[in-house]
Structure 1
Amino acid sequence: MSFQPVVPLSGYVGWRFLERTFDAQQTAFSESQPITRATDYFRENIGNVRTAEDLVSDRQLLSVALGAYGLDDDIDNRFFIRKILEDGTIDDDALANRLADNRYAEFSRAFGFGDQPVPRTSQTSFVDDVVARFEARQFERAVGEQDNDLRLAMNVSTGLSDILNRNSTPTGQWFSVMGNAPLRNVFETALGLPSSIASIDLDQQLEVFQDRSRTVLGTDDLSVLADPAEQEKLIRLFLVRAEAAEVSVSSGASAALTLLQSAPQVIA
């Protein structure tokens, strides 16, 4: 039996409701039959996986592995995922390092097929981490089916944590945010930036993000956002501005419909 998250409200009010009920809802979701079936299978079989080919050949294992890193949509791209895993992340020209979305590098690095002599698939701590990530990402996905803005907000903490743990320089951290599609969406909206900013030079984008962050958030130091209170400010800004944008679009569409309905009918 599948547990459907309860999301009765949208925007920041909906976020506050989700925060209050998060633990209970996440637990119920993780204990639902589809999730336990997937995670039990993963725990029982991932230890037998020694190569990237082993992983991509088992759809059930691959589903959990990809789902843990928010890459569910690549389940049918087996050759691509195998290449991501086998290349690893040590070499600059590794496929994962050449992709704008840094979730692929995080995924490849975590399994270790291309980075170390023995993959991490037999390590208990690694298995526990993947399962926990899978449960969290699938809950976010289920919430996103009702409200995608809330799903993006839920990803902020883990997404930032991964970036801060992997990058030691402020510039590297910002480039990682810019290359992480869900996080970039949150920052663009919270900072009041248009999506068209992606069309300009990367170094210029970096300057714009940092300048706007100093103006709006009071800092361009992403490590400051490791503080839950600072993350909450970012999420509040994102949700309030996202909801305002939706209202604006909806109001515009409503006004256009009203004008069309009130216009004189032309009889042929």
Structure 2
Amino acid sequence: MTAITVGLGGLAGWRVLQRMEARQVEATAKDPVVQRAAAYFRDNLSTKTTTDALVGDYKMLQVALGAFGLDTDIANKAFIRKVLDSDLGDRASLANRLGDKRYLKFAEAFKNIGNAAATGQAITDAYVQRQFEKRVGEGNESYRLALNARNEMKAFAARTSSDKTMWYEVLGNKALRTVFEGALGMNSSIANLPIDRQLEMFVSASERVLGSSSFSEIGTIEKIDKLVTRYLALSQIQTNTTSTRYSAALSLLSQR
């Protein structure tokens, strides 16, 4: 995998990345490896694609999971099978119980494929975007998380779920939660608190920092930009502080 780098860090690098994003996504889509994987998926997806067929085909499953950012689960076929076979109408089923709702979206996508061509294109488009984000992450993990948060938040703003439901999704999505914690100045140790208490703290911090805890408002372009830029700015400060302390420690050691 070829890393995508911008030659700058922090907010300056983020602005450069935004300007080059469309061109780099297109370049990622044209990468022979990505292109072959996407074409194979589209060619082999049909309205009759079963759980067995999907889980049993490594190349199909790689694209399917990759589209939802679930690549690391590819070896856990028994788990993936249970997710896909979940009764989505039953709130107690596995896909509905999991805190990370990417699994639910994954199951929904393959429960009723409908138009195979349209579904195949949507899945491969998402796969290409995720591949782009992974390549950005090879150069700067904070930028990958920022891209993911931006796209997730745009999707949240268009949904009709309750704010409480979507906040629980934020808490269960490690990548998105990392950005919120960073932007809101929260310590990751709060994950040890009861989930309802965590929710209260995130909602309160969002109202204080972003001016609202409603996704219809914090999902606007302006608020998403504020969330992401705060995350990147505070991450850069933390990185610089750590680096300075490390350099100071090395300096002290060298004087002995």
Q: Output one character per residue of 1:35-62: Cα deviation in whole Å (capped at 9) or x when no partner.
A: 1110110111011752111101000000
- Taking the aligned partners of 1:62 and 1:189, their CA distance within structure 2 comes to 32
2:246 is matched with which residue? 253
SS in 2 for 1:193: coil
Q: Output one character per residue of 1:218-244: Cα deviation in whole Å (capped at 9) or x when no partner.
A: 111122133212211111001001111
1:244 is matched with which residue? 237
2:113 is matched with which residue? 120
In the alignment, which of 177, 180, 185 is matched to residue 187 of structure 1?
180
SS in 1 for 2:46: helix
Shift of 1:12: 1.3
The root-mean-square deviation of aligned C-alpha atoms, in Å, is 1.7
Shift of 1:93: 1.6
The answer to whether the Cα contact below 8 Å between 1:68 and 1:135 also exists between their aligned partners in 2 is yes
- Taking the aligned partners of 2:76 and 2:246, their CA distance within structure 1 comes to 38
Gaps of 5+ in 1: 113-118, 264-268
Aligned residue type for 1:156: A
Pick which of 159-168 and 100-109 moved more. Answer: 159-168
Shift of 1:181: 1.1
Pick which of 143-152 and 163-172 moved more. Answer: 163-172
- Taking the aligned partners of 2:176 and 2:24, their CA distance within structure 1 comes to 23
Shift of 1:144: 0.4
Shift of 1:177: 1.0
Q: Output one character per residue of 1:235-263: Cα deviation in whole Å (capped at 9) or x when no partner.
A: 10010011111111111222222222222
1:115 is matched with which residue? none
Shift of 1:98: 2.2
- Taking the aligned partners of 1:5 and 1:255, their CA distance within structure 2 comes to 31
2:163 is matched with which residue? 170
1:144 is matched with which residue? 137
2:9 is matched with which residue? 10
Aligned residue type for 1:249: T
In the alignment, which of 224, 229, 235 is matched to residue 228 of structure 2?
235
- Taking the aligned partners of 1:52 and 1:163, their CA distance within structure 2 comes to 28
2:201 is matched with which residue? 208
The answer to whether the Cα contact below 8 Å between 2:150 and 2:228 also exists between their aligned partners in 1 is no
The answer to whether the Cα contact below 8 Å between 2:95 and 2:104 also exists between their aligned partners in 1 is yes
Shift of 1:11: 1.6
The answer to whether the Cα contact below 8 Å between 1:164 and 1:173 also exists between their aligned partners in 2 is no
SS in 1 for 2:211: coil
2:218 is matched with which residue? 225
Report sequence identity in percent.
38
1:66 is matched with which residue? 65
Q: Output one character per residue of 1:184-218: Cα deviation in whole Å (capped at 9) or x when no partner.
A: 00000000000001011111111111111111111
SS in 2 for 1:145: helix
Name which one, 1 or 2, has greater alpha-carbon Rg.
1
The answer to whether the Cα contact below 8 Å between 2:212 and 2:218 also exists between their aligned partners in 1 is no
1:97 is matched with which residue? 96
The reply on whether 1:156 has 2:149 as its aligned counterpart is yes
- Taking the aligned partners of 1:166 and 1:91, their CA distance within structure 2 comes to 21
Gaps of 5+ in 2: none
